[in-house]
């Protein structure tokens, strides 16, 4: 949990997604047997006139909330907001310590994540803790090639969990397909649906740094499939937070449709831990401070993932962001003065 707007304690929310038949409901069932989910609010979204997945989940938990009037990524995002706000403010609110939302197999997590941080009331009660995507080792490579929805689910993932590895003797092909789309994601493998959920639920507390270290090519930009490109910058020197906030707001406003995700850790003067910054398309998440750095590496760093953006524009964005990440030298009054250029954009952090 962390303090949200108005110093309210907000619940961590995890999105569990994956294409049809990927095994995410099996993962969810095993997760709900884990003591760490004993007090989780579980929301299951299904398509079809006769929903079944929530019944499978209710074999483990009988208090699952069902959203069955459409796909949560498009027609019923309002229902998701209403449900989460109602549960967070209702009589059962004190019973929950986290939220887990399972999407339909056809869901694009991008608008879901945007919805989670757009609603002014919702952000007072929950904060996005991560996106976990299930990928079938047997059918995953073909699914990712054939279906844009599956590719979007992987591209937006913080963590990817491979399922059904026993059917094909390994996940090499699926792993290669996932790495081509999301080199930033951590990879896990479930054993018949079972895995240690601890690391997946603690990404903002322990592993953000490792996932922000995206490899870059000679030009500082790494290209994936589907017109996806990513880059990262980092520095040990202070970063002017006001200037960065302006960069993020401007970038999301003018290039939001092509901005899949921005994630970062920024050192804050006088604070024991970094500020966590995130954005999805046109939506900038509320910034919050971690109580401590997740590792001995206390450098500020930001990762940017784009799709459908020209290489020239990506290079311009990276150069403009690099200007805000000085080349290991002091910035007097960082974060306290108006925007000014710092550092050498020709040097990568």
> What is the CATH number for 34?
3.40.50.300
CA 285 to chain centre: 11
Query: Is residue 43 located within the same domain as residue 182?
Result: yes
Average the pLDDT over 37-66 and give the result.
52
Q: Is residue 330 part of a domain?
A: no
334 within a domain of the structure (yes/no): no
**Shared domain check, 270 and 184:** no
pLDDT per residue as tens digits for the range 215-231: 333 334 544 445 778 88
Q: State the DSSP code for 291.
A: S
- CA distances, 233 to each of 109, 239, 262, 337, 345 (Å): 25, 11, 12, 22, 10
> Torsion over CA of 61, 65, 70 and 72, rounded to 10 degrees?
-100
119 located within any domain: yes
The DSSP call for residue 167 is: G
The whole-chain average pLDDT of the chain stands at: 74
Please report whether residue 339 resides in a domain.
no
User: Which pTM was predicted?
Assistant: 0.61
pLDDT of 345 over the 80 cut: no
When mean pLDDT is compared over 97-106, 116-125, 143-152, 332-341, the highest value belongs to 143-152
Please indicate, yes or no, whether residues 190 and 247 belong to a single structural domain of this protein: no
346: pLDDT confidence band, cut at 50, 70 and 90?
A: very low
Cβ 25 vs Cβ 61: under 8 Å: no
The residue that leads in pLDDT, 218 or 4, is 4
Task: With H, G, I as helix, E, B as strand and everything else as coil, classify residue 161.
Answer: strand
Look at residue 349 and tell me if it is in a domain.
no
pLDDT higher than threshold 60 for residue 312: yes
| Residue 65 binned pLDDT confidence (cut-offs 50, 70, 90) | low
Separation CA 290–CA 166 (nearest Å)? 39
CA distance 14 to 98: 8
Quote the domain boundaries for residue 247: 210-322
Could you tell me which of 211, 67, 21 has the C-alpha nearest to residue 130? 211
Does the pLDDT of residue 343 top 80, yes or no?
Answer: no
The CATH number of the domain holding residue 270 is 3.30.1220.10
Closest CA to 81 of 130, 128, 37, 123: 123
- State how many domains the chain has: 2
What is the C-alpha end-to-end distance of the chain, expressed in Å?
A: 31
Cβ–Cβ < 8 Å for 117, 32: no
244 falls in which pLDDT band (50, 70, 90)?
very high
177 and 242 belong to one structural domain: no
CA pair distance 288, 285, nearest whole angstrom: 9
Residues 136 and 249 in one domain: no
Comparing 117 with 210, the larger pLDDT belongs to 117
Q: Are residues 216 and 187 in the same domain?
A: no
Are 163 and 51 within 8 A, CB to CB?
no
Q: Is residue 99 part of a domain?
A: yes
Would residue 173 count as lying in a domain? yes
């Amino acid at each position: 949990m962390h303090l949200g707007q108005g110093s309210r304690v907000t619940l961590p929310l995890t999105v569990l997604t994956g294409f049809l038949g990927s095994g995410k409901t099996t993962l969810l069932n095993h997760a709900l047997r884990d003591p760490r989910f004993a007090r989780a609010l579980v929301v299951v979204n299904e398509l079809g006139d006769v929903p079944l997945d929530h019944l499978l989940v209710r074999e483990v938990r009988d208090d699952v909330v069902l959203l069955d009037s459409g796909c949560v990524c498009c027609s019923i995002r309002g229902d998701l907001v209403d449900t989460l706000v109602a549960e967070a403010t209702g009589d059962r609110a004190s019973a929950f310590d986290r939220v887990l939302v399972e999407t339909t197999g056809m869901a694009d997590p991008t608008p879901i994540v945007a919805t989670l941080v757009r609603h002014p009331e919702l952000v007072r009660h929950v904060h996005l803790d991560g996106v976990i995507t299930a990928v079938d080792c047997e059918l995953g490579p073909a699914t990712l090639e054939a279906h844009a929805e599956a590719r979007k689910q992987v591209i937006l993932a913080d963590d990817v969990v491979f399922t059904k590895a026993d059917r094909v003797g390994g996940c090499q092909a699926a792993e290669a397909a996932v790495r081509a789309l999301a080199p930033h994601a951590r990879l896990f493998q479930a054993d018949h649906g079972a895995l240690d959920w601890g690391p997946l639920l603690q990404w903002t507390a322990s592993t953000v740094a490792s996932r922000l270290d995206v490899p870059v090519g000679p030009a500082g930009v790494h290209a994936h499939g589907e017109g996806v490109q990513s880059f990262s910058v980092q520095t040990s020197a202070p970063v002017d937070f006001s200037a960065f906030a302006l960069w993020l707001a401007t970038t999301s406003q003018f290039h939001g449709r092509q901005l899949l995700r921005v994630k970062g850790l920024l050192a804050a003067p006088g604070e024991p831990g970094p500020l966590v910054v995130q954005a999805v398309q046109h939506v900038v998440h509320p910034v919050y401070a971690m109580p401590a750095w997740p590792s001995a590496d206390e450098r500020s760093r930001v990762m940017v993932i784009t799709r459908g953006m020209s290489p020239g524009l990506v290079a311009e964005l990276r150069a403009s962001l690099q200007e805000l990440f000085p080349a290991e030298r002091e910035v007097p009054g960082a974060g306290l003065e108006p925007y000014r250029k710092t550092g050498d954009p020709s040097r990568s952090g």
